[in-house]
Amino acid sequence: MLSRDAYTRLLLDANSDFAITPLIDPDTQFGLASVDLRLGPDLVITRRATGVVAYDPGDAEAIQDDLERYQTYVRRPFGSRFYLHPGEFAIARTLEFLSLPTTLSGEAMGRSSWGRLGLVIATATFIQPEFEGTITLELANLGTVPIVLYVGMRLAQVAFHEVTD
């Protein structure tokens, strides 16, 4: 796992092919062994179904129809609120765009402070070398009260690992 000093050196090295943009405040986003990622403006919100609805993986066409019927894409401005109610699910992206060189992989995960509130932040946790893009975050409120999230707030973190032969 890379230390704060190691990924800071890589970010400053113009030849490293390692980038995280935008980084507003390295003093608050850089941990000793990870970088905090913020909630981006793009969300896919799943509305509650009424009646009998079930996703059947054997019927791909019906799943696609149900997803279009029950999911809504929303783009929110920086700093705006988003309420995730108990039992609700949303898909979000990080504000940060990552670019990894061939020598680095990453592991994205939720920040533990959110878990204590009942927010589960699942991701496809492993980030391959040479990945370029934002990280997808699956958000589920397993708690008993609504959770207020703001576009731009620190929500997840990524730890980087050197890839060796």
Which are the catalytic amino acids? 138
Determine how many CB atoms are found less than 10 A away from the CB of residue 73: 9
Pull the structure tokens for residue 55: 């996703």
Torsion of CA 121, 125, 131, 132, to 10 degrees: 0
Pull the structure tokens for residue 129: 């070398």
CA distances to 31, 62, 99 from 57, in Å: 40, 9, 33
Strand boundaries in the chain, DSSP class E: 19-21, 35-46, 71-75, 81-84, 89-94, 97-99, 104-110, 119-122, 126-127, 132-133, 136-141, 147-150, 154-162
